[in-house]
Structure formats: structure tokens, C-alpha cells
Chains A and B, each alone.
Chain A
Amino acid sequence: MYYEFQNSAKILSGDFALENIPHELKSLGAKKVLILTDKTLEKIGTLQTVIDSMSGKDVQIGGIFTDIPTDSSIDVINEVTKKYNQLNCDSLIALGGGSVIDTAKGVRMTLSQQKEDIMDLAGCELINYGKHIPFVAIPTTSGTGSEATLVAVILNKVKNIKMEFISYFLLPDVAVLDTRMTLTLPPKTTASTGMDALCHAIESYTCLQKNPMSDAYATAAIELIRDNLEEAVKNGSNKNARLAMANASLMAGVAFSNSMVGIIHAIGHAVGGISRVPHGDAMAILMPHCMRYNKDKLEEQYAKLLLYIAGDEVYAKTPKEKRADTTIEYVEKLLNKMHELTGLNTKLSEAGVKEEDFDKIATGAINDGAMIVNPKKADYEDVIQILKGAF
């Protein structure tokens, strides 16, 4: 057996975590920071909270870029890179969900390698350390785990596919989990992103590169999600539940960054790229269907996951041969619960996917990098069958 594991980001988690960002940036040698975020976070005051936390004199805000769309794209990355250079910034703060953080990763990669176009860097573990650009990630959702991963998923508008860039040098220097960033997250988004975190944990526990380290992060994340997702959805102002979900998301991110994700993400990326279904929604809908597809290969792992997803009482009472199925049932129950509480879609048809797009989605899915690490082979026809089941 062989595995590699890296979790190099310093984690600031809890009360007044934001206020420590200037100190961290200063210690990383930064003086002038570019903040990347989106219009919504500017509008609802989240950006202002972060700006207010940067009150010291050590680090100056050199610029703020708020035009980041829902799906980070190559064009946006190249645009931000230009702005960073024009403003003479020396560091980055990403404030947002997966798309903002992935955009910042792309910008940092382009800057550190001193390239003008990120497409020159497409690939896997291709880049060297390069010029160090201090980088702080502040997630405003609890789902993508992007603040702790070596992957950036970026939309190629020309090809209409989500491309993966993979490098250990994409990991932020600092990941900041502060409940002020997620308290206003609407219940439906909380549910969707929470299911995304669950999906990361489950896939990382079952993919080809699973290892003792990633297993520890994945199972701990699942327990936190089990105990806190429903409460965070029902009572968004519960700081404990919010922080627990933020920790769970980061831990699931660490897990899948080191073990990768499989078929659920391969199909989900294609569904997102072609039908524009939000990533978390796609994960939530596809999860039980893909788990059933994988079950004959992953019976043992799914059975073990019952302990974490349902608790020790249920695990002990469930006969060994039924544990894998019960795990999938629990995932389905959680999805239905989220649907009941927030209206989260449970079928692809409800999420806006059209049957005539199945061909494009299946083609995109089998060409997605996540498919290679799924333990069970899946070809075009297998994906079509999964899509039909989830429709």
C-alpha cells in the first residue's frame, strides 16, 4: 500500500477568527491584499464584516474584486490576475463559496508560476512551488471544503466542461472558519452544501486512494454532519451547529483532497456544467443512486459507514449483511428530510435537468477526472442508467 497525505493550511476556527487574519498575513510577509468575493456577499454585509476585521495597519487592502460568477471560469481568473498585477498586490483573500475560493486558487497558481493564462497550467501536480503568494481562504458556505483541498474546479466555457486543476500548491496558507460567515446562509443552501460535505466524506472513504488519515477525517466529518446539519438548517442562528458544520466541511475537504472523489462527483460535475444545477443539489440527488451502483464493490466500506451516519445504537442493531443498504437508506432519509425542511430537490428532473441532455452529461461524466478513482468501472451506459434512476 502507498498513499500521500498533505493538509498544510493553518486553520483558524471559532470566535474572532477573522480578526487574526492581518496577523497571519503579516507573518506570511504580505502587505497589500486583494480580496476576491461575489456581489451577494457584498450586498448582505459579509464582505464589510471581513473588511472591519482588517482594522490594523500591518496589512492594507489593495483592492476588492466582486465580479465572480457562480461558476469560476478561466476568463475570470485571467481577469483577476491582471487586476492583481495592476494594483501591485502581494497576497489574496478568498471570501466565498467554492467558486470564489477556486477562482482564487486559479489566480494564485497563475501568479506563482508567472503565467498570463491558466490554461498553460492545466494538469495534475504539474506546477512547482513557484513564487509564494500568501493566500487566506474564508469559506461562507459549509460544503465545498475548498479551503482545504488541492483541487480547483474551473469552468471552461468554450468546451462547456468543468476542468480540474490539481496541485498541492493550491492549498491555502490559512483557512478561516468564523460563524459570522455562515449565520445568514439560507436553509436551502445550508442543506445543499451540507449534503455536498457529506458526499465528500462518503466518497473519500470509498475511493481508490482512501488511507488511514483520510478515513479519520471522513468519519469524523460524517458524525458532525449527522449531529448538526438538521439543526443548522432549522435554526441557522445556532452558532454551535454552524461552527460544527464549518469544521465538518473542512474535514471532509481534507479527506477528499487526499483520497479524491469518485462517480458522484464525475456525474455531478457534468450535471453542473451542462444543466447548471448547483453543485450541492447535484451531489445530494445523485448520492444514493451512485452508492447503489457502487454497492457490490463497496459493501464493506458502506457497512462500516453506518456507525458514523446512524450512530452506534443503529449500527449494533443492524445485521452485518444489511448495514451497507441501511447506510444508503440513511443518506436517502437525510435527503428527504432536507427536502421536507427546505424544498431541496430530490430528483434531477426537479432540478432542471432535461432528458435530452443525458448524452452530453454521460459523455462529460466518463471524461471527468473523478471517474478514474471510482473503485467500480462505469461506462457511458452505466451513467445513463444512473441518470435515469435519479431523474
Chain B
Amino acid sequence: MKISYKRKSIIKIKAIISKIVLFFLYRGFKAGYKLDTRIKKEIDSWQNGFSAVIETGEKNTKLCITKENGKLVRKKQINNADIVITFKSIDVAFLMFTGRLGVAKAYAEHRFTLKGEINQTMSLVRVIDLVEAYLFPKFITKNILKEVPKKEANMLRTYICVITNI
């Protein structure tokens, strides 16, 4: 018996969508750094050379970021990153990337493994929560965040920054 074609297709679609969301999540990090003082404060607290990987373990779906000269940079691959969040399945990663599962709940449900210091990861989690609050509409964020944070910039401005990568 082999994995069914249907399942293979689902994995493929979920991986493609997850890659797109991870792309916008990275852009969201960069936009958030410019538009939100809380995100800026968190990222400024990371040391130069700090690196993090968020991956699903399927179809090379990952976001690798590092801080270089005070700025966040996306890399194709980072070996031995300070923090590596690996989802146990693409299905759960897909739930998170499509705004149906928050980071806190995913952590509580043991949906991912974490390599690195938990204390350091907390800052990354706070940034993800804030970026999600900008990227997703309120009817989604109120279900996945413990509290929807007040936005310091409107969504339109955020989306312009995210799309144009300004």
C-alpha cells in the first residue's frame, strides 16, 4: 500500500500555501519592525547573528531568518540556528499558517518541537503574535490570540509595506 494520490495532493497544496504564508510572515516581520514599536523593541533585543527557523518538515517548507547588522534577513538555509521550531505535521502547520491555531495553543498541544532556549523563543512568539494581528483580520485573531493587541498602524499601511517590501 502506498500513500494515496489524494493525500499526496493535499500535502502538496498545504505546503504551497504554507510557503506563501511564511513569505508574508517574513515580510510582516519587516513591516512590523517599521510600524510597531513593540515589534521593533523585541527584534532590537535580539543579538546580531541570532537565527531562527520555522519549518514543517515537509516539502522544504521553512522560514529561515537571521539578524545581520541590526536587520532581519531571510536565508534559504540556516544550519544550527539558535531556535528551530519544527511542526510535527504539515496539517498542523497549515492550521497555524491559515489562522486557525495560535502559537500558544500549538505549543500547549505539543504540535511542534523546539530546539533552543525557551526563554529566547518567547520573544519570537510575541513577535509572531503581533505580526499575526496585523496580517489576519480580527475575526480570526480573536480566536487564535489570548488578547488582540492594539494596532499602532492601520492594516492598509501594513499590507502596502508587506506587499511592496518597503
Contacts and interface: CB of A to CB of B under 8 A. Distances in A.
Contacts of B16: none
Contact of B116 (A2, A123, A260): A123
A367 B108 contact: no
A209 B109 contact: yes
Contacts of B120: 367
B4 interface: no
B146 A123 contact: no
A194 interface: no
A368 B109 contact: no
A123 B109 contact: no
Given A369-B122, A373-B104, A4 B109 contact: yes
Contacts of B98: none
A372 B125 contact: yes
B122 A124 contact: no
Contact of B113 (A4, A124, A373): A124
Interface string A149-176: 0000000000101011010000000000
Contact of A163 (B118, B125, B145): B118
A126 interface: yes
Interface residues of A, number: 29
B142 interface: no
Nearest to A375: B146
B123 A367 contact: yes
A373 B122 contact: no
Contact of B114 (A126, A367, A373): A126
A368 B119 contact: yes
B119 A207 contact: no
B113 A260 contact: no
A200 to B, nearest CB: 16
Nearest to A120: B115
Contact of A161 (B115, B119, B123): B119
B5 to A, nearest CB: 27
A123 B118 contact: yes
Interface string B43-56: 00000000000000
Q: Which interface residue of B109, B110, B113, B114 has the most chain A CB atoms within 10 A?
A: B110
Contact of B115 (A4, A126, A163, A377): A126
Given A122-B116, A125-B113, A367 B107 contact: no
A61 B127 CA distance: 50
A372 to B, nearest CB: 5
Contacts of A164: 118
Interface string A340-376: 0000000000000000000000001011110111111
Q: Which interface residue of B114, B118, B126 has the most chain A CB atoms within 10 A?
A: B118
B138 to A, nearest CB: 16
A185 interface: no
A128 to B, nearest CB: 10
Contact of A209 (B108, B119, B146, B147): B108
A166 B119 CA distance: 13
Interface string A187-227: 00000000000000000000111000000000000000000
A125 B109 contact: no
A377 B120 CA distance: 18
Contacts of B126: 366
Contacts of A4: 109-110
Contacts of B123: 367
Given A123-B113, A163-B117, A208 B108 contact: yes
Interface in B59-111: 103-105, 107-110
Interface of B: 103-105, 107-110, 113-123, 125-126, 145-147
The 10 lowest CB-CB distance pairs between A and B, nearest first, are A369-B118, A208-B108, A209-B108, A124-B114, A377-B146, A377-B147, A367-B119, A367-B122, A123-B115, A125-B113
